[in-house]
Amino acid sequence: MSLPVAAAQALQTFQDAAGWEQRARLLMQFGDRLPALSDADKCDANRVHGCESQVWLVGELHDGHWQFSAASDARMIRGLVALLLARVNGLSAAELQQVDLPDWFNQLGLSRQLSPSRSNGLNAVLQRMKALAG
Amino acid sequence: MMILSPWRADFPAIAALQRQDQTYLDNAATTQKPQALLDALAHYYANGAANVHRAQHLPGAHATQAFEDSRLKVGQWLNAGDSGQIIFTHGATSALNLLAYGLEHVFNPGDEIVISALEHHANLLPWQQLAQRRNLKLVILPLDSDGLIDLAAALRLITPRTRLLAVSQLSNVLGAWQPLPALLAMAKAQNALTVVDGAQGVVHGRHDVQALGCDFYVFSSHKLYGPDGLGVLFGRNAALEQLRPWQFGGEMVLDANYHDARFRPAPLGFEAGTPPIASVIGLGATLDYLSGLDQDAVSAHEAALHDCLLRGLVARDGIRLLGKPQLALASFVVEGVHNADLAHLLTEQGIAVRAGHHCAMPLLKRFELAGAIRVSLALYNDSEDLERFFAALDQALELLR
């Protein structure tokens, strides 16, 4: 399965990054570019629980393709979510079932963000996405 | 000024963590272990494990002897003397649950349980749930602006309806000694039972349960440089008479029939099933090690480190301390910076501190915070640990601002 264009660009950028500091700056830049979620969508029903910060995730199918949007009050998790959306947005329901998201973060050099002890919420976001995608 | 720890080399994990570029400053969560403890565990397992208080065979006798020696050492550590008994549990949380279930029968609907606003969930939820089971009122003592339990309010709230007072000696978030003598006196004047959560307090200085005068004192081994899976409950003799067994099973029984049974008195009657034998023996070794240290030197070292931590924090712009930490730890937030972001970047730099609500959600809500960063110290930390922390903090804040 070929990568969506946004994902391929993100992957190249992160693979070129040298060191934690540059990855952190990139994460913040990706987070800053995440389109804003409307206040109406920042409701309790869309809240992803299990995060140290507040995270909201909304997913809709358009013509058989997933379109997720998200927001967070913390910058790092916002960046991580932006990288997640870059990988999954536009996929069909069948394609979304296939995609190996832990491997995606591994390729980005961010696999530590998915370790079980992390309370940053990326694990919780992945679970929520799985639940939404059925 | 350099603050070196003469005890650092006694804790082999500190060097191991340093080789992994990790600076361990999460000691209020758990501590690294002295070599003396590692040796005791290896010795026990290498020389013949056996169950305690059961078998007549020699390995069983050795294990039981070592196990009971540890009970004596814990009693000495707390200066329990003949005033009460030391009960081993599976953790401080287990000890507090034992109390909340084993004392349930002394409460009548409408009675009041008094705790404080700063309690760890382990000293909140067992009482909250007991109150719900028995239709009791849970009374919360408020804090003053320094993070100490407000004594004037306590005087109003501890009343003849108070059946039990359960408070922390040292807050795991605010790092301040609570005014226990005054609180315990108020509770005793109302004939209430008194429970002290010493999980943080026991790690700093020596405490004398007879001088303190509480009915029950609880702590966990792993925060006191001991093994995990082990808690300690001291109970005063008269108070223990009111405590009923909570968990039932092997070795806590005097006589069992199919339809009824009689149980042992404390301590064994509250130690159902196989206890964490190796951990108990290990805690004994840790206490031997700690007893050999110059306590005044340890306290002075910890105070100097804490002073260095506070000075470093207040010297930086936008940092807000929670309460007025006196020792052991400091929790803080940075204006305009999400604590999750700061935690992320400290982790990236190998700084092991705690971020979040610290198992005290209601307290954090009172501060109107979703979380805070906590730096907590141990006797093996030194000023270089703090320098690495501050360098990482500055770097993180530069990135985030």
Q: Can you tell me the ipTM of this complex? A: 0.92
How do residues B94-140 score in pLDDT, each as one tens digit? 999 999 999 999 999 999 999 999 999 999 999 999 999 999 999 99
What does the alpha-carbon distance between residue B193 and residue B242 come to, in Å, rounded to a whole number? 10
Backbone angles phi, psi at B67, to 5 degrees: -60, -50
* pLDDT the model gives residue B372: 95
Using a cut of 0.90, tell me whether the model's pTM lies above it: yes
* pLDDT the model gives residue B200: 98
Which residues from chain B sit within 8 angstroms of residue A73, using beta carbons? Answer: 338
* Residue position matching structure tokens 């700084």: B351
Interface of A with B (CB under 8 A): 20-21, 24-25, 28, 51-54, 73-77, 119-120
Q: Using pLDDT thresholds of 50, 70 and 90, give the confidence band for residue B3.
A: very high
Domain that holds residue A63: 5-133
What is the count of structural domains for chain A?
1
Shortest distance between the Cα of A94 and any Cα of chain B, in A, equals 34
Which residues from chain B sit within 8 angstroms of residue A75, using beta carbons? Answer: 338, 341, 400
Q: Which of B338, B348, B349 sits opposite A74 (nearest CB)?
A: B338
- 341-370 of B, contacting A, C-beta below 8 A: 341, 343-345, 348-349, 355-356, 370
Give, for B162, the enclosing helix (H) or strand (E): strand B162-168
- Round to the nearest angstrom and report the end-to-end CA distance of chain B: 29
Shortest distance between the Cα of B382 and any Cα of chain A, in A, equals 26
B398 close to B390: Cβ distance less than 8 angstroms: no
Task: Give the pLDDT mean for B14-42.
Answer: 98
Cβ separation B345–A74 shorter than 8 A: no
A89-98, B35-44, B62-71: range with lowest mean pLDDT = A89-98
Which residues from chain A sit within 8 angstroms of residue B338, using beta carbons? Answer: 53, 73-75
Q: Using pLDDT thresholds of 50, 70 and 90, give the confidence band for residue A1.
A: low
B8-25+294-400 matches B38-291 in fold: no
Cβ separation B338–A53 shorter than 8 A: yes
Cβ separation B399–A25 shorter than 8 A: yes
* pLDDT the model gives residue B252: 94
Shortest distance between the Cα of A2 and any Cα of chain B, in A, equals 31
Q: Which CATH architecture has domain B38-291?
A: 3-Layer(aba) Sandwich (3.40)
Instruction: Residues B8-25+294-400: name the CATH superfamily.
Output: Aspartate Aminotransferase, domain 1 (3.90.1150.10)
* pLDDT the model gives residue A119: 59
Q: What are the extents of the domains in chain B?
A: 8-25+294-400, 38-291
Give, for B87, the enclosing helix (H) or strand (E): strand B84-89
* pLDDT the model gives residue B66: 96
Cβ separation B341–A73 shorter than 8 A: no
What does the alpha-carbon distance between residue B170 and residue B321 come to, in Å, rounded to a whole number? 16
Which residues from chain B sit within 8 angstroms of residue A19, using beta carbons? Answer: none
Q: Using pLDDT thresholds of 50, 70 and 90, give the confidence band for residue B22.
A: very high
A11-25, A108-122, B175-189: range with lowest mean pLDDT = A108-122
* pLDDT the model gives residue A134: 75
Q: Using pLDDT thresholds of 50, 70 and 90, give the confidence band for residue B321.
A: very high
Q: What average pLDDT is seen over chain A?
A: 90
Cβ separation B370–A75 shorter than 8 A: no
Give, for B45, the enclosing helix (H) or strand (E): helix B35-47
What does the alpha-carbon distance between residue B95 and residue B118 come to, in Å, rounded to a whole number? 19
Q: Using pLDDT thresholds of 50, 70 and 90, give the confidence band for residue B85.
A: very high
Cβ separation B399–A20 shorter than 8 A: no
Q: Which of A21, A22, A48, A49 to mutate to test the interface with B (most CBs of B within 10 A)?
A: A21
Shortest distance between the Cα of A133 and any Cα of chain B, in A, equals 27
Which residues from chain A sit within 8 angstroms of residue B370, using beta carbons? Answer: 52-54
Range of A36-50, B43-57, B189-203, B355-369 with top mean pLDDT: B189-203
Shortest distance between the Cα of B23 and any Cα of chain A, in A, equals 17
* pLDDT the model gives residue A118: 62
Q: What average pLDDT is seen over chain B?
A: 96
How do residues B205-224 score in pLDDT, each as one tens digit? 999 999 999 999 999 999 99
Residues 6+ apart with CB under 8 A from B360: B118, B119, B120, B121, B171, B172, B173
CATH (domain of A110): 3.90.1010.10
Cβ separation B340–A76 shorter than 8 A: yes
What residues does B218 pair with on adjacent strands? Answer: B197, B233
How do residues B240-283 score in pLDDT, each as one tens digit? 999 999 999 998 999 999 999 999 999 999 999 999 999 999 99
* pLDDT the model gives residue A51: 73
